[in-house]
């Protein structure tokens, strides 16, 4: 009997690396252990009541298919947010498109740009970075080119480091600031350099900005490539946004893509073919979220407190980590004596119930690091760090893997 056909590109994908922690947590739960989840990045702070109520109020008596573009009211709310937060003017009709969170849009973006018959099928993506960048490139028939972000350059993408022989074949480049997993941010001057380089070489700039509103009180708001490209009509740019962390709406699956009207139009052409449309009641909740900034500032203050607790613990125990005033991720170097991040993360989970993400899940060069997503609330964090501290003390003098 002949084997069933399958997409050969699937063989190039390993299992989704971030799901390793699901299995780790299951083992701990099965053993009756308390689990402290610093892995996936799904905050426990409640979704604000006014957002939940907006969704409830919008549930219709008759359910009908939503527009794949998103309602004009939704797109205008996104444009209004961009005007308030970034000082840019988006055309809600032509320059904004609803998405089901940012992950869906990120996965489909290469399909807009890559042509199997073209010599330009390379898409550059950062290491470390979101694993979906690479899988999306592969499934669209592209050639992924992993670009390391050096720690000594604060994980900022340097276009001058891209080999010259890659440029004629590059269709697009992914950047993400504030950066997952390190929390790194870029200056306006650095962003201007990246945008000018991409435009010069005809490389579409794909900017994952789902953490652009996640910055701590009293600090400078992160720059958006929408700001950098506004004077050029957002030429050559697609920027991706999400309400997941900004508004505590991970399960709602709401985001938007904005930028060059021609490229947004390509997204609008693709989306009906893949059957995706954000439910109208989710859009109603998203409109409420986009129209309010106070809850964002309140959530950011909570994450700033949690970051202070994490920084204090890590510094007290001699860990090397990346300072940051954005996102809710902490990028930490594996302590001396451990072969790699998987060994340390496994030992940490077994010893304390703390589940972190090994660095190699986020980049092939990152086995020497692990990521903490500051998910638990502040009081739970204190218990976690107390348990971690006791575990460190108990292991002094113990051989490490």
Q: Are strands 143-148 and 122-127 parallel, antiparallel or unpaired?
A: parallel
For the chain, state the CA radius of gyration.
21
Could you give the CA distance from residue 376 to residue 381 in angstroms, rounded to a whole number? 6
Could you give the CA distance from residue 149 to residue 71 in angstroms, rounded to a whole number? 38
Q: Are 355 and 39 in contact (CB under 8 A)?
A: yes
Q: Tokens standing for 260?
A: 């060059």
Phi and psi at residue 50, to the nearest 5°: -65, -30
Domain positions in the chain: 8-46+295-394, 51-292
Q: What is the pLDDT of residue 389?
A: 96
Give CA separation, 209 vs 24, 122, 176, 309, in Å: 29, 22, 6, 26
Q: Does domain 8-46+295-394 have CATH number 3.90.1150.10?
A: yes
How many CB atoms within 10 Å of residue 315?
12
Q: What is the pLDDT of residue 1?
A: 47
Q: Half-sphere exposure (CA, 13 Å, Cβ side) for 228? A: 24
What 8-state DSSP symbol labels residue 129?
S
Phi and psi at residue 384, to the nearest 5°: -60, -50
Q: What is the pLDDT of residue 33?
A: 85
CATH of 51-292, one of 3.40.50.720, 3.40.640.10, 3.30.930.10, 3.30.10.20: 3.40.640.10
Q: What helix, strand, coil percent values describe the chain, rounded to 5?
A: 45, 15, 40
Q: What is the mean pLDDT of each run of 10 residues along the chain (401 residues)?
A: 64 63 78 86 92 98 93 98 98 97 95 90 97 94 96 96 97 98 97 98 98 97 98 97 96 97 96 89 98 98 98 97 97 92 93 94 93 95 96 73 45
Q: Are strands 170-176 and 204-208 parallel, antiparallel or unpaired?
A: parallel
Q: Tokens standing for 183?
A: 């929390």
Q: Are strands 122-127 and 170-176 parallel, antiparallel or unpaired?
A: parallel
Peptide bond into 178 cis (omega under 30): yes
What 8-state DSSP symbol labels residue 174?
E
How many CB atoms within 10 Å of residue 8?
7
């Amino acid at each position: 009997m002949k084997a069933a056909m399958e997409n050969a590109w699937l063989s190039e994908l390993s299992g989704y690396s971030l799901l390793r922690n699901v299995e780790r947590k299951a083992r701990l739960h099965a053993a009756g252990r308390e689990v402290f989840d610093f892995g996936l990045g799904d905050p426990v702070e409640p979704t604000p009541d006014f957002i939940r109520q907006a969704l409830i109020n919008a549930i219709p008596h008759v359910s009908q298919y939503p527009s794949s573009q998103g309602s004009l009211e939704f797109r205008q709310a996104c444009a209004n947010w961009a005007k308030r937060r970034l000082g840019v003017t988006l055309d809600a009709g032509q320059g904004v498109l609803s998405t089901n969170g940012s992950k869906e849009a990120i996965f489909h973006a290469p399909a807009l740009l890559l042509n199997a018959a073209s010599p330009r099928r390379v898409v550059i993506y950062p290491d470390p970075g979101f694993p979906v960048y690479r899988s999306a490139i592969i499934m669209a028939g592209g050639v992924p080119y992993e670009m390391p972000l050096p720690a000594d350059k604060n994980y900022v993408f340097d276009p001058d480091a891209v080999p010259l022989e890659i440029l004629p074949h590059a269709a697009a480049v992914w950047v993400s600031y504030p950066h997952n997993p390190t929390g790194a941010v870029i200056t306006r001057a650095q962003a201007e350099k990246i945008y000018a380089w991409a435009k010069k070489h005809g490389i579409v700039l794909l900017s994952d900005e789902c953490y652009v509103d996640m910055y701590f009180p009293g600090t400078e708001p992160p720059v958006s490539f929408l700001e950098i490209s506004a004077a050029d009509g957002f030429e050559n740019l697609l920027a991706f946004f999400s309400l997941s962390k900004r508004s505590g709406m991970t399960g709602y699956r709401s985001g938007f893509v904005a930028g060059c009207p021609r490229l947004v139009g390509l997204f609008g052409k693709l989306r009906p073919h893949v059957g995706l449309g954000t439910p109208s009641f989710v859009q109603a909740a998203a409109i409420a979220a986009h129209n309010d900034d106070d809850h964002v500032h309140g959530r950011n203050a909570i994450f700033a407190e949690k970051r202070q607790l994490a920084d204090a613990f890590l510094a007290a125990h001699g860990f090397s980590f990346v300072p940051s005033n954005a996102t809710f991720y902490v990028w930490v170097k594996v302590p001396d004596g451990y072969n790699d991040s998987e060994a340390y993360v496994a030992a940490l989970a077994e010893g304390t119930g703390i589940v972190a993400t090994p660095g190699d899940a986020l980049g092939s060069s990152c086995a020497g690091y692990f990521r903490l997503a500051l998910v638990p609330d502040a009081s739970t964090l204190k218990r976690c760090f107390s348990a971690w501290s006791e575990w460190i003390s108990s292991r002094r003098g113990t051989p490490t893997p």
